[in-house]
Structure 1
Amino acid sequence: MKKRVYLITGFMCDERIWSKVEALLQDSYEFIHIPIPNENSFEKIVEKIDIDDENINLIGFSLGGYIASYYALNNFSKINKVLVISSTLCSLNSDEIKQRQNALKLTKEYGFSILNDKKIKTLIENKDDKNLIALIKDMYKNSGKELFLNLLTATTYRKDLSQNLINSNINFNFLYSKDDILLNKNWLMNMKENKKFLFECIKSSSHMIPLEKADYLKDYITRIIN
């Protein structure tokens, strides 16, 4: 019988973010996708996630890593393991908050626009991969304006989960790229001092680990879940 693994995607992504690693592990695991609920508050997002299982292996990518961790902390009796990919579970700094507030204002005034190539290239390691860039653009476009506005509103003012993690008995595991510009390096250094969590670092700049480092992620999932 295949082990069930629940997947939560990232900001303005869809199931395709997992397509490569799913193809590599389809004979070993049953993957169940959990889309981020289209709600304008974080509490509503987590409330809408309903996993009917008593031994949950949960993987979250980027924003999905934060959501997965928040869900796990509130449903600890049902959790087996949590894998957090490309995510630091902390509050946003003042610059990040201002950027999000500006994005909200511009989108409401002038409409929704997809990511440009320059922005996408800051998230990936292989900056010449036109198919990868096109996929990220398409996921962003398909997610749409309403989800964009709701997710920005719901997740800009998020709390640091450090103490909650430390006080829990949940098996949290973290995989990230060394030079991922979206991660809070201070948070990582502080949390790595607590030996109850497993942190694994890839020598890469990629934020999009599931798409660019699928072979590595395949091995990581196999090691952690098994």
Structure 2
Amino acid sequence: MNTINQSVLFLPGTLCDERIWLPIWQTLNIYERLYSPLQWAQSLEDMLALTEDRISQAQGKVHLVGYSMGGYIAALSALQNKSEIASISLIAYDPFGLSNEELSTRQSLLKALSKNPKMKLGRNRLAQYFTQAELEHNTHPQTVIDMQNDLGNSTLVNQIKSTTPRQDLSTQLQSLDIPMQVIVGEQDFIAQANNVEKFCQSKPSANLHCLSGTAHMLVLTQANKVSDMLAQFISANSN
């Protein structure tokens, strides 16, 4: 088990709760573990307020770890609270914003949900999160299905509307003087690896990890690797 003697704040992705981080938390012994419950938020302002509240609770500077939508909120929060952030780890997040394809998918999803509020997450949508091999590993897809069933489509609609489209933060993040780590799955269709790599080329100080054989849900499917990366990076950037 890795030990982190620091304050670390975790931010979840769309339609996720603490369960998205559980496999990683189980491998980490963290001095002060904080969590921003973005699933409670009704708007982008709520998400930022929840996160700022957790930042203010930290004992000293906090290390931000944001996954997907949580990466977007972590980036915005770091830009707004620079003096209180020790480092930022962005996982499965594209600083350039959502692709046109993903924007179209979300618009279609909102239309479908307006017609059928009880619609369930289909296999086609799951296929955007996992590789084919990962889909056959029932535990990980089931975690995503369980979170959707428990949080409900109203949460999904609120989160999509609150964070779509996403502001292009690439230029602001390039000038952000805070240690940064970026982790992406090679087969991620949402935060595409080539975009993330392009961002890191313009910010050489950022630590880039592109994991092969995995897609958007790498915090579930590659929890041990991501845990090691977080522990090493945070330890290297601790006061």
Same fold (TM over 0.5): yes
* Number of matched pairs: 225
Which segments of structure 1 move beyond 3 Å, counting only runs of 4 or more?
A: 37-41
Is 1:55 the counterpart of 2:64 in the alignment?
A: no
Candidates 21, 37, 43, aligned match of 1:18: 21
1:100-179 equivalences in 2 (<5 Å): 100-125=106-131, 126-179=134-187
Contact 1:39–1:154 (Cα < 8 Å) also in 2: no
1:130 to partner: Cα distance:
1.5
**Given residue 98 of structure 2, which amino acid in structure 1 is its aligned partner?**
L
Q: Unpaired segments of 5 or more residues in structure 2?
A: none
Matched, 1:9 2:12: yes
CA distance in 2, matches of 1:31, 1:114: 32
Structure 1 counterpart of 2:189: 181
41-50 or 15-24, larger mean C-alpha shift: 41-50
- In structure 1, the residue matched to 2:204 is 195
Residues 60 and 67 in structure 1, CA contact (< 8 A), matched pair in contact too: yes
Counterpart pick for 1:209 among 195, 198, 218:
218
CA distance in 2, matches of 1:182, 1:105: 20
Unpaired runs of 5+ residues, structure 1, are none
The AA in structure 1 aligned to 2:102 is E
Query: 2 CA distance for matches of 1:186 and 1:170?
Result: 23
RMSD: 1.9
Quick one: distance in 1 between partners of 2:99 and 2:217? 22
1:33 CA displacement: 1.6
> What SS does the aligned partner of 1:201 have?
strand
Question: Cα distance 1:33–1:10, how it changes in 2: closer, same or farther (>3 A)?
Answer: same
Tell me the percent identity: 26
> How far off is 1:188 after superposition?
1.9
**Is the partner of 2:27 in helix, strand or coil?**
helix
- Deviation sequence 1:30-49 (CA, Å, 0-9, x none): 32221115445423421332
